Amino acid sequence: MADTPTTAKAPENQKGEALLSQWNESSLVKTLCLAFGALITIIALSWAIELPLKLGFEWLDEQAMVACFGLMLVIVFIRYPAGGGKERLSVPWYDMILASLGAGAACYLLFIYGDVELNPFEMRPKMFWVSLIFLPLTWEALRRTAGISLTMIFSVFVIYAFVGHLVPGEMFKGVEQEPYRLIAELGTNNASLLGLPLKIIVLTVVLFIWMGQLLLHTGASEWFTDLAAAMMGRSRGGSAKIAVVASGFFGSISGSAVANVASTGVITIPLMQQAGYDRKTSGAIEAVASTGGQIMPPIMGAAAFLMAEILELEYTEIILAALIPAALYYLAVFVQVDLEAAKNNIAPLPKDRIPLMRRVMREGWFFLLPYVILVYTLFSLNLPPQESAFWAAISVAVVSIVFGYKGKRITPAQLWDSVAASGRSSADIIAIGAMAGLIISILDRTGLGQALTLLLASVGEDSIFLLLILTALVSILLGMGMPTSAIYLLLATMIAPSLVKLGIHPISAHMFVLYFGLMSMITPPVAIAAFAAASLSGAKPMETGVTAVRLGWIAYVVPFIFVLSPALLWQGTPYAIAEGAITAFIGVWFGSCGLIGYMFGPQGTIGRILLFVAGIMLLLPAEAIPNGLLINGIGLAIGVIWGTKDYLANPKKKPVPEASSGE
């Protein structure tokens, strides 16, 4: 009998030991990923301020890229299981081998890269063996991080590089490649895997991700929400307007619509539901506002800097180009949430939940300083984007230490965590950047890029509209589920050059693919940002996606307009820019009234159709279509006449009741 208690407790002890063992293994995996992630961020920081050069080391940018690429491989094979899933408790032996192979090949290439640059012919045998390791590891890293669809696209390009010359017909027949030389150069050449996409991500995008992490750790997302509440809480539908403003502010720097939904949506979605918005609408508003942050200057989820580098334009030109379309996007969302509130009698926030503006500004005014520093260093000092991002990010930490938000200052542990988390989260984008560089090289080597241009030209020979529709659909398909910078890199690599060769303005072409790539975030059947918001709101995912498409309707229309007439992208005479902007803003208001079914009062079917048609007629660029001014004028007349009739029919609306404090 004395042995009975021991026998009874043994299974519990074994279970506890197993759980403790799992926890220890999981903690080790997380620690390793954070440590290697921190190294990625530290390398990006060092290059931003040219620290190696100041210390007397004449290292090349490609060596930093190789180091970060190798660290990415280690993080991916440690963190992501081969069979799918987000996290795991331990690392199997085969993934340890893959991680070691990637790290070893990267260290070796890092050591010999100076010789590779000076004498690639003599170093080709060594380049071949390094590439033979890098290429399959890149494929597998891409599969684990971006999913099978993007990996299959990548596979098609790689296979084409080797067998493209066997393709029948003339249009898609590629230039024959020598396999040995092709493999050697794909994995080690600075116009291939180590090309411009990877360079921009490692040396610029990582720093903006770090800035976003610092803002998260210092409480900036909470302050942006409080600021939006102080600005918008007293108006009808104030809760939804808070979501739009807060998500727009924070989304610009987050670099991911889904991450933005997750960080701000936990606050804004319940707030909207308490005010009276239904589940699908509250989720859709958050998804659309978070996605719009990726096109909002000055950062645009880091896409602005990528576009400036790829197009070889001044950063200021990209910001000006993005300004009017982004304003139109948020105007459409604002008008619709406001009219939705009027239509459904949704109250402002309760008074006790609206913070005083002076208190909000007193508590967190210093969060504006990093933006001021970023703009000042970019525009006045003309510093490179990576150096500007460095000083802006440093200022976030400094103001938190000096001032603190609500009595809390960033701690050394939080500072380290921001460094580690930004590098770890950059791993996915680095894998896509490597893939983009490889695709660019294959398109150029085989002549496939020219073939794609000819194909698009044949499609658009009779109709530029049909060409743009096809491009939009392909952009939405290719953009599914990826961060903003990754979406843009992929589309700028594969599609935008063909549009430019067909005569479309370069900025228009690149903005077009960026917009439609981002719209994959809210466009069913994938709509990953809308589905993330649906999980927070409790709505059906597909209903949330459909509502998000309606709220973000202008983003599906404006890209066609600025392709026909770049005036909305600040390209043209001051008169053309002003005329295009004014008619577009009025058109967005009319069109949104038609879609929501409310202007000064509820609208029937005829009213909705008339208002939407009037909005589209005003959005059409006058100089790009026959009788453009006449069409704009007719649209304005329809909208004004119907609006006047509607106003006279609803001369005095009862004020929206204020929610009680107990709601």
What separation in angstroms does the CA of 381 have from each of 53, 376, 391?
A: 21, 7, 12
* Dist CA 273 CA 482 (whole Å): 28
The confidence score (pLDDT) of residue 182 equals: 92
Name the nearest CA neighbour of 553 among 336, 338, 249, 341. 336
Q: Whole-structure pTM over 0.85, yes or no?
A: no
Name the nearest CA neighbour of 304 among 286, 285, 325. 325
The answer to whether 109 and 116 are in contact (CB under 8 A) is yes
DSSP code at position 205: I
- C-alpha angle 321/461/325, rounded to 5°? 15
Which residues, 6 or more positions from 33, have their beta carbon under 8 angstroms from its beta carbon?
75, 78, 79, 424
* Dist CA 315 CA 312 (whole Å): 9
What separation in angstroms does the CA of 338 have from each of 164, 220, 356, 397, 621?
A: 55, 26, 22, 37, 27
The confidence score (pLDDT) of residue 638 equals: 94
Ramachandran category for residue 638: left, alpha or beta (phi over 0 → left; psi -120 to 50 → alpha): alpha
The confidence score (pLDDT) of residue 7 equals: 41
Judge if the upstream peptide bond of residue 525 is cis by omega within 30 degrees of 0. Answer: yes
Which residues, 6 or more positions from 225, have their beta carbon under 8 angstroms from its beta carbon?
242, 246, 264, 267, 268
Name the nearest CA neighbour of 590 among 611, 563, 568, 618. 611
* Dist CA 376 CA 395 (whole Å): 13
The answer to whether 247 and 253 are in contact (CB under 8 A) is no
The answer to whether 306 and 205 are in contact (CB under 8 A) is yes
The confidence score (pLDDT) of residue 5 equals: 42
Torsion of CA 394, 396, 398, 401, to 10 degrees: -140
The confidence score (pLDDT) of residue 655 equals: 45
Token look-up 């050449």 returns: 189
* Dist CA 329 CA 374 (whole Å): 24
Q: Which residues of the chain have pLDDT under 70?
A: 1-26, 85-87, 251-256, 263, 301-302, 460-462, 480-483, 525-526, 651-663
* Dist CA 565 CA 464 (whole Å): 13
The confidence score (pLDDT) of residue 254 equals: 62
Bridge partners of 472, per DSSP, are: none
The answer to whether 203 and 386 are in contact (CB under 8 A) is yes
Torsion sign over Cα 397, 86, 135, 75: positive
The confidence score (pLDDT) of residue 26 equals: 58
Q: What is the pLDDT of the chain when averaged over all its residues? A: 83
Helices (H) and strands (E) in the chain, counts: 30, 0
